[in-house]
A and B are shown apart, each in its own frame.
Chain A
């Protein structure tokens, strides 16, 4: 597993497909970014479980992170350290996968995140 590409598990893909409908955000990568940030925001260490990235949804790191790739990477490294791992490529990739999927879980699990307004409102709590 490398940082070159980001791949989702089948349940995550299903959930995202549903979220695509409810939020009206048409792109996987955008939703994935939101999901990643949701998880990074949560200071608790995620439970490590085996994530089988077996879905057909796969995107390059560049597609995933877009313009702010360096920053996302820095954040991932920071989290990696915070979670007690060396920010090696492997660890960073792992962190990404874990947090991404935890975030997707968050989005799917909480009703307020199931709409675009809810999402943006969460980022913009005014």
Chain B
């Protein structure tokens, strides 16, 4: 990881936008930043941490203040809080051989009573540095990274490591304390040297193992399958029985049908069909008979009338003639008396002489008339005989028609009766077919019963089939689940086995790694210490125990109590410890050292300037006062310095400006002192 640029905007004492190019070269890893006390050196260190870690950053200016309060107070006092401040940090990280260029912008402003903070992370995933030239990165805002930055930055530069990497030289003295050192060493070894990764791997594997257990649900599933298999079998059994039953019933039914058919054939042969109609025919016959009887009764009534006289037509004509004759004779007789009286009256009127001839003539006439009134044959018919005959004629005409009608009816009825009688003759005697009939009725009943049974059987079979289908479907599902579970169970077994194994390996690996790191660390720290210490013979050996406690041994083999060391010596020890850690970690991280030479004597300062700073890391930011890196030391350091800056504080405006150059090189000319 290399820091590329930091830009402060209205942050702390920094007024306006102040930008520092932090790019270093391979042979010149040092950025020297000078500043008098209170100019904002520590603020710069804080700004880097704040940009990266936000609320978690261990900023020196924050103390125990709330994060919001700290941010609020960090806004430049002469600046409008509503517009706020920002810190922009640009850096590159090499991951898997690819360089990534990050720009992290943390900005905040006051909005009324609340404080709003924003974090924007842009990244160029494929940043390529060409030697000797600065390439402009193609940055893209990444929402994902912006939102998950707190996690991401832990991958890039863990906070624990950062606190070792960015340190205040005056305060690191405490690291020399064995207790404090132990915890620093432990955390450093774990996080910086990748032991924690191994540890994490082991924990993850354990979590994986724990997740792999078969759940209760799956156990339940297995039980369920067994139950369903059982049910399926029982249903199948029932179905088999039912189907067999059904077949048997079918056969029985077939037999019964056959029997019925033969019975019916027999019945047919015996005139069974007609027999069944017998009653019907008989009833018909009875009706016909009754009708005939009725007709006959009518006929008989008719016969009781004048009907026989029909045969006497000619005789009746004679009677009629006779009746006429008798009537006219009667009339003539009646006229005779009247005529005699009138003749007498007429004679009385006539004169005497004429009387005789007229009397004679009249008597002759009366005699003639009287003669006609006497019949040869006299039936002594009643006077209304002619009327009676006339009535009789009429009645006879009517009765004749009625008789012929009735006769036709009677003939038809008799014919029908005959027909029915013939049909009846064709119908067998009841006794002959009665037995058959009974049998047939019984067979019909039996057949109906059987059909019902068969239908029931079929229904049951169908229902069982449906149920079987259901159960089978359920079983199928359960089986699939089961297979999955089984596979999973096997997989679980395998995973547990292998993760167990892997965990064992990792544990051993972790231990070995730790041991290796610790021994390397011991060597590196001792080497650093020896390089930096003025008293070369003071410490002969350095050991880091299992509990990460640091023990120093002198030439006599006795342990040295760190308390016996001077403050300067303890600072040297602490620096060597950090240097050693960085060496073992591979110099991958930038080091920011604030006030590095505070309490050291000139010899120790020279050692640090000569031996430590140029090799402390690939990038070293030195925040120094003019008394620490002075003109002499600058001269010794110069060949390793990439950039120099001076933080210039204007006492009238209480603002700091960043100016290129250090007090004693070219840039110093512009420095207002």
Contacts and interface: CB of A to CB of B under 8 A. Distances in A.
Instruction: Decide if A and B are genuine partners.
Output: yes
Interface of A: 23-27, 30, 33-34, 36-38, 40-41, 67-68, 70-71, 73-75, 77-79, 81, 87, 116-117, 119-124, 126
B302 A27 contact: no
Chain A CB within 10 A, most for which of B302, B303, B310, B377: B303
B300 A75 contact: no
B382 interface: yes
Contacts of A116: 296, 299-300, 303
B407 A120 contact: yes
A117 to B, nearest CB: 6
B322 A74 contact: yes
Given A30-B300, A70-B388, 10 more contacts: A23-B300, A37-B312, A40-B315, A68-B392, A70-B382, A116-B303, A117-B299, A120-B299, A124-B307, A124-B407
B322 A75 contact: no
B321 to A, nearest CB: 10
B316 interface: yes
Given A120-B407, A121-B407, A124-B404, A74 B385 contact: yes
Chain B CB within 10 A, most for which of A27, A30, A74: A74
B411 interface: yes
B400 interface: yes
Contacts of B316: 71, 75
Contact of B403 (A26, A67, A79, A123): A123
7 contacts: A23-B300, A26-B300, A34-B308, A71-B388, A78-B318, A123-B403, A126-B404
Given A25-B300, A34-B303, A71 B308 contact: no
Given A71-B388, A74-B379, A87-B379, A119 B319 contact: no
Nearest to B314: A41
A117 B300 CA distance: 9
Given A77-B379, A78-B319, A117 B312 contact: no
B322 A25 contact: no
B502 interface: no
Contacts of A87: 377, 379
A26 B300 CA distance: 8
A81 B321 CA distance: 15
A72 to B, nearest CB: 8
Given A26-B300, A70-B381, A116-B296, A78 B315 contact: yes
B306 interface: yes
A30 B411 CA distance: 22
A36 to B, nearest CB: 8
Contacts of A68: 306, 309, 388, 392
A120 B385 contact: no
B410 interface: yes
Contacts of A81: 377
B299 to A, nearest CB: 5
A78 B325 CA distance: 14
B311 interface: yes
Contacts of B406: 120
A121 B306 CA distance: 14
Nearest to A126: B404
B523 interface: no
Contacts of A40: 311-312, 315
A79 B379 CA distance: 11
Contacts of B312: 37, 40-41, 75
B304 interface: yes
B389 interface: yes
Chain B CB within 10 A, most for which of A71, A79, A119, A126: A71
Interface residues of B, number: 36
Contacts of B388: 68, 70-71
Contacts of A126: 404
Contact of A75 (B299, B304, B319): B319
Given A71-B392, A117-B299, A117-B407, A122 B322 contact: no
A12 to B, nearest CB: 17
Nearest to A87: B379
A66 to B, nearest CB: 8
Nearest to B414: A117
Interface in B297-349: 297, 299-300, 302-304, 306-312, 315-316, 318-319, 322-323
A126 to B, nearest CB: 5
B311 A119 contact: no
B383 to A, nearest CB: 11
Sorted nearest first, the 10 A-B pairs with minimum C-beta distance are A37-B308, A123-B310, A30-B304, A77-B379, A74-B319, A124-B403, A41-B311, A34-B308, A25-B300, A33-B308
Contact of A38 (B296, B302, B311, B414): B311
A104 to B, nearest CB: 13
B309 A37 contact: yes
Contact of A71 (B319, B410, B414): B319
B389 A71 contact: yes
A24 B300 contact: yes
A122 B318 CA distance: 21
Contacts of B304: 25, 27, 30
Given A26-B300, A34-B303, A75-B316, A117 B310 contact: no
B379 A67 contact: no
Contacts of A37: 308-309, 311-312
A78 B379 contact: yes
A71 B311 contact: no
Interface string B384-403: 01001100100000001001
Contacts of A119: 303
Contacts of A75: 312, 315-316, 319
A78 B322 contact: yes
A6 to B, nearest CB: 15
Interface in B365-385: 377, 379, 381-382, 385
Interface string B223-244: 0000000000000000000000
A43 to B, nearest CB: 10
A120 B302 contact: yes
A27 B303 CA distance: 11
A74 B310 CA distance: 15
A123 B299 CA distance: 12
Given A70-B385, A74-B381, A81-B377, A123 B307 contact: yes
Contacts of B306: 67-68
Contacts of A121: 407
Contacts of A79: 315
Contacts of B309: 37, 68, 71
A71 B320 CA distance: 10
B392 A124 contact: no
Chain B CB within 10 A, most for which of A70, A79, A126: A70
Contacts of B392: 68, 71
Chain B CB within 10 A, most for which of A23, A38, A68: A68
Contacts of A120: 299, 302-303, 307, 403, 406-407
A79 B297 CA distance: 32
Interface in B459-478: none
A26 B307 CA distance: 16
B229 to A, nearest CB: 92
